Structure 1
């Protein structure tokens, strides 16, 4: 009997098909975030980071979640980066030089992946690893349908539920109360580790870089709020008479506080309140620190600032385009790492369904991260290279790839260029056609005018030969003194000898010969 193993070679624990691993650990239902951002200062923050480096991720994970909830700028920029992944098309591709069986297997895996519930949520939850360094989604339920095992419920678990073993292969473990934590069940978890920065898992998330700008920004926000409260209101001084009782003094103080917020209050008789001018001060230093922190956050998350912050001074369209290119590079990098995550997932699906396929020859999920060319500019450039520069080594497959146009499969219908009728007039032809090619075209339509030119006849003779049959009766009648009306009758009487086709051909030949004569003698 073939043993079923996951992408790490671990055998299937059939308990995972009955219930999730976390259902066995009751303590998770009683854990609540500690919100370490409350009262966070320069002394507490290093201790939180050091604990995570030793494997205890709970406080660091809670701090990261607080950062997302309390700092709208971090939330917005991270949402841009993660949601960009949902704009990418994806496909399941067979390996290089795939056999018919491997292509069929890829099609089957594609059907499996499309049948997954909320594929987009799986991608977004995996992208949470960009900030935390890892994400762990538990497969709560497997179901067998049409002899195929597929997960039907996948849930992202809080990052605080996990720990790491930096001294033992830096594995992600479930914090079940044991010293090193419980090993994650095979076929029970989808774990994605994202190297946003190099280091152990606890250090590899972007939020590790963002904690210091977050801290300094919050210091400045607190100071700015205090500044506005103190310096934005006038100073109020209350005086009371000597011998005032404690109740009278308390009433006066309460009146001072009330008038600061409500602009109304009562005071005992014999006391007075004196309003002073508001103290002078500048809020610019606090705003400058906040602006620095947000710009640093944008650079860390998106690689630049001009795609998120426009100050009207340094922001230009050119610089914005450069920063958008940087964002595309980051998107490609994130997508490539997610492809590795799905490679393990596909390996798991193949294993649980009894397909023993080499990891090197298994189907893979590929995100389409190509930066497509502008079709108009690209097509004109390729046409220029081929027709004018004579480049004959451009593969058709490369054109399809750059333009984002898939190659037809299985005989599916394709668009075709409409065949244009050959033009007789030279002015209707492309200026890049050679006279040899022109001669070929005219030979195909048996043009008498072209034959006349090829036989070195003069252009006037050729024109006369082409037009004589049409206008000769009219000229003869007028020379014989026939009136114009009678001459037209003679032409009308002779017209039946020329059908419409002959008439049109004669006119086309005459115009064609005149066009050539004018072009050949334009400079003479």
Structure 2
């Protein structure tokens, strides 16, 4: 196996198939995080970021972990960014013009990929690289028959790693030496996320988020102090002349403790007065916190309107624009992650289990990032475009609708035939005719006599109904049109319609409808008599 190399030309070593590389560095596993966010200052933050640029990633990795743990807004926005990848379908595609052997190889890889353990968790762990710049997962292998497969992927803290001082992209496992250990090719899945150009140590989003995180912490702390000082009334202790130092100390302790305990005792002859709280406002602190959170949303999701509403500029149109930006980020994340999976998962599976595989034409893992048209919109637009003379390929229509083409002999949906009607007879006319027939039968059974008179057809009664009801309907339409033209917003339209409802009487419309139905019923009865005479 030592004669095999990975996609980067590095030799594949047998050790990675039997034990994790980090198992030989037990002291790294026993290290505790230092939580540098405690007491963080601009000077200290600058020092942490500067150390990371020189290869020491420990403090920066601990700070980035603290930021997601302590800042709820960063945690929420990063969760949206990470979990968006789970909404995408994926597939292992064969190379273009694949030979029968390449098709069989791709089918095997597709089956092995579908059996990977906790694949969704692996994707989430890989997306941790969006904040840190990289995310390392240690791979453990096992043998299933004659096939070597990954048994587990374990996320390792970024603090376990370092880079070379002269190469910020050369990731190493810390072992106490100056340069650290190179990662075993078969032992790791290392996703490197490029949020921006530059070395690995500066590519993560958290490098940019660290500053608004710091400023927000200052504002939250200052707001808490403001509420403690200015939100409570001033307690003023008064003592008489000749009071001893011990009595003064007792009074001071009572004044200090009464604000939180709401109880206390003081010597007789002393007094505690409650003055109005000092004047002040929390608005500057809240404004600073809001600015920091808006900046965080812009950095992580490319906008703010998909995260929160500012009450002034938040509209559906602007929200849609920001969603477009989020989709662009999702496509970028998916492509970067697919490249990592092809390099660190698909390629090792292929090299270890498919002898003689052509390295120039590998199968490719891809996420499906296409967005499909709304079926209702597409179904309305396509017939009109076809009627206008456009030649639309069937394959294109299936792709846009995300509907697969049926395989040979596969059952497909068909359009049901429309129910037959007599020429010129509407559904309402058919219903009234049936009602008239029923009434005619009932009339004969009770011995009632029918008067022969010219009766219009049911279709004519429908026309008459429309004519008789037109004045009432037109009056309603005029009232609503006048209301809409005078209204300044939708709230006024809604309130105006509620006010108009009592005046929009339906008695005239109901009378016209009743007359038409009665005439239709009589017409049905007349038809029955005509058939009986014939």
CA contact 1:166–1:200 (8 Å) conserved in 2: no
Correspondences of 1:8-19 after superposition (within 5 Å): 8-19=8-19
- Alignment-derived partner of residue 397 in structure 2: 399
| Structure 1 residue 248 displacement after superposition | 2.5
The residue that corresponds to 1:31 in the other structure is 31
| Structure 1 residue 18, shift from structure 2 partner | 1.9
- Per the TM alignment, residue 193 of structure 1 is displaced from its structure 2 partner at its CA by 0.4
Take 1:335 and 1:13, find their aligned partners in 2: how far apart are those partners? Answer: 30
Of 341-350 and 311-320, the range deviating more from structure 2: 311-320
The 1:101–1:169 alpha-carbon spacing in structure 2 relative to 1, beyond 3 Å, is farther
Structure-2 residue corresponding to 1:80: 80
Distance in 2, Cα, partners of 1:488 & 1:64: 90
Supply the distance in 1 between the matched residues of 2:351 and 2:242 (Cα, whole angstroms).
90
Query: Counterpart in 1 of 2:362?
Result: 362
> Which has the larger Rg?
1
Match of 2:247 in 1: 248
Structure 1 residue 268: Cα displacement: 2.4
1:164–1:172 CA contact under 8 A, matched in 2: yes
**Which secondary structure state, in structure 2, belongs to the residue aligned with residue 171 of structure 1?**
strand
Is the 1:223–1:286 contact (alpha carbons within 8 Å) kept by the matching residues of 2? Answer: yes
TM-score w.r.t. length of structure 2: 0.76
In the TM superposition, residue 21 of structure 1 has moved relative to its aligned partner by 0.8
- Alpha-carbon shift at residue 370 of structure 1 (Å): 1.0
Within 5 Å, which residues of 2 pair with 1:226-305?
226-305=225-304
Taking the aligned partners of 2:14 and 2:309, their CA distance within structure 1 comes to: 55
SS at match of 1:91: strand
Over 3 Å counting, the alpha-carbon distance change for 1:229 and 1:2 in structure 2 is closer
- Which structure 2 residues correspond to residues 317-328 of structure 1 after superposition, within 5 A? 317-328=316-327
Once the two structures are superposed, what CA deviation does each residue of 1:281-327 show, in whole Å capped at 9, x if it has no partner?
01110000000010111111111111110133211111111111111
Partner of 2:69: 69
Indicate the residue corresponding to 1:482 in structure 2: none
Q: What RMSD in Å do the two structures reach over aligned CA positions?
A: 2.4
What TM-score does the superposition give when structure 1 sets the normalisation length?
0.78
Structure 1 residues 274 and 415: alpha-carbon distance in aligned structure 2, compared to 1, 3 A threshold? same
Aligned equivalents of 1:408, 1:56: Cα separation in 2: 57
Q: How many residues are matched?
A: 429
Q: Over residues 428-474 of structure 1, what are the superposed CA-to-partner deviations in whole Å (9 max), with x where a residue is unaligned?
A: 9xxxxxxxxxxxxxxxxxxxxxxxxxxxxxxxxxxxxxxxxxxxxxx
Change (3 A) 1:46 1:2: closer
Matched residues in 2 for 1:171 and 1:357: separation?
29
Report the Cα offset of residue 236 of structure 1. Answer: 1.3
Residue 266 of structure 1, CA deviation: 1.1
Distance 1:113 1:176 in 2: 33
Alpha-carbon offset, residue 420 of structure 1? 4.7
Question: Which is worse superposed, 318-327 or 117-126?
Answer: 318-327
Q: Deviations over 1:97-146 (max 9, x none)?
A: 2122212211111111111110001101001101110000001x311112
**Structure 2 counterpart SS, 1:326:** helix
For the Cα contact (< 8 Å) 2:138–2:189, is it kept in 1?
A: yes
With 240-249 and 90-99 compared, the bigger mean Cα shift is at 240-249
**Partners in 2 of 1:358 and 1:242 — Cα distance?**
100
Structure 2 match to 1:343: 342
| 1:417 CA drift (Å) | 2.9
Q: Residue 38 of structure 2: SS of its match in structure 1?
A: coil
Query: For residues 222 and 412 of structure 1, what CA distance do their matches in structure 2 show?
Result: 69
Contact 1:133 1:196 in 2 (8 A): yes
- Using the alignment, how far apart are the partners of 2:204 and 2:64 within structure 1? 10
- Check the 8 A contact 1:194/1:204 in 2, yes or no: yes
Question: Which secondary structure state, in structure 1, belongs to the residue aligned with residue 150 of structure 2?
Answer: strand
More moved, 123-132 vs 370-379:
370-379
Q: What secondary structure does 1:98 align onto?
A: coil
Per the alignment, residue 222 of structure 1 pairs with 221
Whole-Å separation in 2 of the counterparts to 1:241 and 1:282? 36
Deviation digits for residues 194-223 of structure 1, max 9, x if unmatched? Answer: 111111101100011111111111111011
* CA contact 2:168–2:201 (8 Å) conserved in 1: no
- Is this contact kept in 2: 1:82–1:127, CA < 8 A? yes
Distance, in Å, in 1 between the alignment partners of 2:356 and 2:35 is: 46
Give, in whole Å, the separation in 1 of the partners of 2:82 and 2:161.
22
For residue 327 of structure 1, give the secondary structure of its aligned residue in structure 2: helix
Check whether the contact 1:255–1:267 (CA below 8 A) recurs between aligned residues.
yes
14-23 vs 189-198, which deviates more? 14-23
Q: Which moved more, 1:126-135 or 1:375-384?
A: 375-384
Is the Cα–Cα contact under 8 Å of residues 52 and 60 in structure 1 kept in the other structure?
yes
Give the C-alpha shift of residue 30 in structure 1.
2.2
Q: Secondary structure at the match of 2:349?
A: helix
Shift, 1:168, TM fit? 3.3
310 and 355 in structure 1: CA distance in 2 versus 1, 3 angstrom threshold: farther
Q: How many angstroms does 1:269 deviate by? A: 2.9
Q: Note the 1:443-454 alignment, pairs <5 A.
A: none
Of 8-17 and 229-238, more deviation after overlay is shown by 8-17
What are the ranges of 5 or more consecutive residues in structure 1 without an aligned counterpart? 429-486, 493-524
Report the equivalent of 1:130.
130
What SS does structure 1 have at the residue aligned with 2:167? coil
Using the alignment, how far apart are the partners of 1:60 and 1:180 within structure 2?
Answer: 18
Do the aligned residues in 2 keep the contact of 1:3 with 1:11 (CA within 8 Å)? yes
1:186 aligned residue: 185
Residue in 2 aligned with 1:40? 40
Q: Tell me the CA shift for residue 361 of structure 1.
A: 1.3
Q: How does 1:393-432 map to 2 (within 5 A)?
A: 394-409=392-407, 411=408, 413-418=410-415, 420=417
Equivalent in the alignment of 1:438? none
